[in-house]
């Protein structure tokens, strides 16, 4: 089997678990060399924003890769009310490899912006949930904090404090959210554990689907499904 056959299902030719683990390692290295500060820590803020942003991309990559490997998953999404229609002209660029790229094109239109939306998409796709009930609350809190950093420079707003009750509303426009190295490390651990579990869930669910639905995958599809579970170099 040639390398090109194996990598066609994945963005950049690399399984998303491997790519994301490498990204996490880069963030850890940046944290290691960053000066530790008391109070406002801009380096940790930037690393935190990057962590959540890269994680959102990872969630979409895993989702798309599963569809690339098994195009019939589009039926699952459609049956659950997800819009899987696309502009067919966009597929022309892929030529004979179009069936290995469908997931990328379809996934661009989906909103992975909250834990609830992410769970609904993955449940429709393969009956797996990236987030447990408690994890939904934690991830949505991380998203809310990320948005505060990105859109308000970490400064407390009335809406943020009313939603999170992180502090008294008198702190709005006076104090700010502190994202320090400890905060980042806690978020990092949660994201890392969730990501590792997800690639295993999706790979296992795909293998099970091949058997239950009697789909007769090719050796390359089986190899790609195994690779989907790989986590880091």
Structure-token pair, residue 94: 């892929």
Q: Summarize the confidence of residues 33-61 as an average pLDDT.
A: 95
Question: 115-156, pLDDT tens digit by residue?
Answer: 999 999 999 999 999 999 999 999 999 999 999 999 999 999
- Has residue 232 got a pLDDT over 80? no
pLDDT score at 28: 97
Name the burial class of residue 113, with classes exposed (0-12), middle (13-18) and buried (19+) by CB atoms within 10 angstroms of its CB: exposed
pLDDT score at 98: 84
Structure-token pair, residue 219: 């050796």
User: How many whole angstroms separate alpha carbon 154 and alpha carbon 2?
Assistant: 49
Q: Summarize the confidence of residues 57-65 as an average pLDDT.
A: 97
The band of 1, judged by pLDDT with boundaries at 50, 70 and 90, is: very low
Across 164-198, b (16+ Cβ under 10 Å) vs e yields eeeeeeebbeeebbebbbebbeebbebbbebbbbb
């Amino acid at each position: 089997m040639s390398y090109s056959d194996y990598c066609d299902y994945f963005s950049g030719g690399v399984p998303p678990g491997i790519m994301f683990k490498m990204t996490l390692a880069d963030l850890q290295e940046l944290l290691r060399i960053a000066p530790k500060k008391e109070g406002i820590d801009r380096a940790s803020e930037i690393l935190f924003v990057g962590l959540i942003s890269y994680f959102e991309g990872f969630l979409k990559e895993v989702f798309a890769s599963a569809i690339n490997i098994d195009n019939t998953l589009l039926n699952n999404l459609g049956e659950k009310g997800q819009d899987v229609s696309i502009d067919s002209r966009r597929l022309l660029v892929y030529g004979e490899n179009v069936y290995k790229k469908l997931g990328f094109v379809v996934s661009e239109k989906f909103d992975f912006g909250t834990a609830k939306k992410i769970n609904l998409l993955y449940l429709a796709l393969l009956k797996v949930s990236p987030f447990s009930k408690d994890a939904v609350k934690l991830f949505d809190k991380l998203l809310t904090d990320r948005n505060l950093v990105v859109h308000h420079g970490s400064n407390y707003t009335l809406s943020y404090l009313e939603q999170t009750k992180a502090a008294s509303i008198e702190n709005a426009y006076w104090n700010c959210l502190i994202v320090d190295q400890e905060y980042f490390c806690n978020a990092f651990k949660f994201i890392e554990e969730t990501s590792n579990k997800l690639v295993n869930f999706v790979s296992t669910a795909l293998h099970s689907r091949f058997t239950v639905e009697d789909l007769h995958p090719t050796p390359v599809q089986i190899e790609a499904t195994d690779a989907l579970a790989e986590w880091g170099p």
